[in-house]
C-alpha cells in the first residue's frame, strides 16, 4: 500500500470530526427529550462543511431519531457502547459506505495497531491480504515466514479466522484478527482453487522481518534477482544486485517478482530508473478528477543498452509496486512479462489523523500504467502466460523459470 500526507485533507477531516462531535451533543439532547425539532435540525445542518450544506440534500433527522431510539430501547446482555464508541461506530459506517475495502476508520486501539504494522517489525504470520471478488484473499505469503512455512498460498480465500466468518469483513479487520502476540496460534479456514473442501491451517505467530532480495548466477549465463518486497532499503539493495550482475559479465537478466505484494512507490520508481531514459513514464496517478493527476517519471540512471536480454516473472501474488514496476518495464519495451496475471492492487491510500488517537485510511487515487491501463481492473496480463500445475509444484519444477530461460537463451 502507499501512504501520503495532504495537510488540506487532514485539516478538513479534523474539522469534520469537531463538527460531528458537536452535532452528536445535540443529538443526545434530542434523544433524551424524545423529540427532534425542525429548527434545531436546520441549525445542525447549517454547521455542515460548505460543499455538503450547499447541496441541500443532507438531513440528519433520521440519524438522530435512530440514536434516540437505540438510547431508549436497545437491550443487550453485552456491555452497551458509550456515546464516544457510538461516534466511532458512526464514522466507521461512513467509511464503509464508500464500498472500498481499503478505506477504513481506526478507533484508538485499531489505530495504534495499524501504526505498528506499517512501522516495520511486528508480530504476525507474514502474508499480504486483499479483497478479490468481495472475499478476503491471500495476495502472497512472504518467503520463510510462518504463513509461507505453514503452506498458505497466493490466491487462497480466507473463509474464517479463528472461527469468525470473513463475510463482509474489511481487509483491516481481517489483518487485526490475524496479527497477535508472538508464539500464539491463529487458525485459518481457506478455500483453495481446485479444492472441494476448505483447508484448515494453524499458523504460529512470530516477529516478522520482511526479506528483501537475493541473487543467483547460473552456469548458462543467466543472472536472477529475486525481489520479495519494496521496502525502504530495497533501492540500495537492488543497486547492489545490479552491480553484481554487471560484474558477473552476464547479459541475460531475470527479475523475479512472483509473490511480491509491493511496498513503497518510491522504490518502484527508483528501480525502474535503472532501465529507462530520463523522463520516461513509470506510472500515472489518477485521482478521479479530485485533483490534477501526477506522473512519476524515470530518474534516468539508464545504465543498460539495447543488448540487455531481460524478462520479468509475475504471478497472482505480484501486487501494487510489483505491478507498477512490471507494467513500466513491459510497456516501455524493456522487458517481457512471463507467468500469471497479477493481483490487481493499484490504489493509493492516505492515513489521516482524525483525533490524536484515531485515524482514517482513505483511497485517494488509482495507479495507471504508462499506457493508461488501470492496474486495479484485472491486474497485468503477461506476454507469455505460464501457470504451474500441481504436478509441477509436487515435483519441485518451475515451468515459469524454464520458459524465461528458454526465451533468453534463444535470443527472442
Tell me whether residue 65 is exposed, middle or buried, using C-beta atoms within 10 angstroms of its C-beta: 0 to 12, 13 to 18, 19 or more.
middle
- What are the cell numbers at 169? 469483513
Gap between the Cα atoms of 304 and 300, Å rounded? 11
**Grid cell 490487481 in the structure block, residue:** 344
DSSP code at position 27: H
300-331: buried (b, 16+ CB within 10 Å) or exposed (e) per residue?
Answer: ebeebeeeebbbbbbbbbbbbbbbbbbbbbbb
- What are the cell numbers at 39? 429548527
The Cα-based distances of 348 to 111, 130, 131, 229, 245 in angstroms read 19, 14, 15, 17, 33
Catalytic residue of the set 345, 347, 359, 361 = 345
Gap between the Cα atoms of 292 and 119, Å rounded? 30
Gap between the Cα atoms of 43 and 41, Å rounded? 5
Helices (H), 346-398: 390-394
Question: What are the φ/ψ torsions at residue 134 (nearest 5 degrees)?
Answer: 65, 20
Tell me whether residue 73 is exposed, middle or buried, using C-beta atoms within 10 angstroms of its C-beta: 0 to 12, 13 to 18, 19 or more.
exposed
- On whether the CB atoms of residues 325 and 261 are closer than 8 A, the answer is no
- On whether the CB atoms of residues 10 and 354 are closer than 8 A, the answer is no
Helices (H), 122-224: 146-150, 171-178
Catalytic residue of the set 110, 128, 323, 331 = 331
Long-range pairs, 305-308, Cβ under 8 A, ≥24: 307/251, 308/251, 308/253, 308/275, 308/334
Catalytic residue of the set 23, 320, 347, 359 = 320
Please confirm, yes or no, whether 320 is among the known catalytic residues.
yes
Give the angle 383-373-234 at the CA atoms, nearest 5°: 75
Write out the catalytic residue numbers: 320, 331, 345
Amino acid at each position: 500500500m502507499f501512504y501520503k500526507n495532504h495537510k488540506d485533507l487532514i485539516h478538513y477531516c479534523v474539522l469534520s470530526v469537531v463538527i460531528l462531535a458537536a452535532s452528536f451533543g445535540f443529538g443526545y439532547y434530542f434523544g433524551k427529550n424524545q423529540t427532534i425539532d425542525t429548527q434545531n435540525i436546520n441549525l445542525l445542518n447549517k454547521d455542515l462543511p460548505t460543499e455538503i450544506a450547499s447541496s441541500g440534500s443532507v438531513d440528519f433527522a433520521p440519524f438522530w431519531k435512530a440514536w434516540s431510539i437505540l438510547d431508549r430501547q436497545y437491550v443487550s446482555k453485552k456491555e452497551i457502547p458509550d456515546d464516544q464508541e457510538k461516534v466511532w461506530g458512526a464514522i466507521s459506517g461512513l467509511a464503509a459506505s464508500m464500498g472500498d475495502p481499503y478505506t477504513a476508520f481506526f478507533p484508538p486501539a485499531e489505530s495504534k495497531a495499524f501504526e505498528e504494522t506499517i512501522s516495520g517489525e511486528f508480530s504476525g504470520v507474514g502474508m499480504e491480504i486483499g479483497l478479490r471478488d468481495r472475499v478476503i484473499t491471500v495476495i502472497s505469503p512472504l518467503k520463510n515466514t510462518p504463513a509461507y512455512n505453514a503452506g498458505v498460498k497466493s490466491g487462497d480465500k480466507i473463509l474464517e479466522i479463528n472461527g469468525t466468518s470473513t463475510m463482509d469483513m474489511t481487509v483491516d479487520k481481517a489483518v487485526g484478527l490475524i496479527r497477535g502476540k508472538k508464539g500464539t496460534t491463529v487458525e485459518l479456514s481457506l478455500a483453495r482453487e481446485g479444492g472441494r473442501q476448505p483447508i484448515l491451517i494453524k499458523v504460529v505467530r512470530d516477529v516478522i522481518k520482511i526479506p528483501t532480495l537475493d541473487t543467483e548466477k547460473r552456469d548458462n549465463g543467466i543472472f536472477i534477482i529475486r525481489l520479495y518486497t519494496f521496502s525502504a532499503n530495497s533501492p540500495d539493495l537492488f543497486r547492489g544486485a545490479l552491480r553484481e550482475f554487471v560484474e558477473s559479465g552476464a547479459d541475460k537478466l531475470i527479475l523475479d517478482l512472483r509473490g511480491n505484494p509491493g511496498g513503497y512507490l518510491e522504490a518502484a520508481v527508483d528501480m525502474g530508473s535503472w532501465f529507462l531514459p530520463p523522463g520516461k513514464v513509470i506510472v500515472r496517478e489518477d485521482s478521479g478528477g479530485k485533483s490534477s493527476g501526477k506522473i512519476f517519471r524515470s530518474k534516468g540512471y539508464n545504465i543498460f543498452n539495447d543488448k540487455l536480454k531481460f524478462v520479468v516473472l509475475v504471478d497472482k501474488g505480484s501486487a501494487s509496486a510489483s505491478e507498477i514496476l512490471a507494467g513500466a518495464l513491459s510497456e516501455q519495451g524493456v522487458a517481457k512479462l512471463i507467468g500469471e496475471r497479477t493481483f490487481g492492487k493499484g490504489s493509493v491510500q492516505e492515513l489521516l489523523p482524525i483525533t490524536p488517537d484515531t485515524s482514517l485510511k482513505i483511497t485517494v487515487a488509482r495507479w495507471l500504467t504508462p499506457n493508461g491501463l488501470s492496474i486495479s481492473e484485472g491486474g497485468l496480463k503477461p506476454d507469455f502466460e505460464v501457470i504451474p500445475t500441481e504436478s509441477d509444484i509436487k515435483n519441485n519444477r518451475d515451468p515459469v523459470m524454464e520458459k524465461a530461460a528458454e526465451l533468453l537463451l534463444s535470443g527472442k
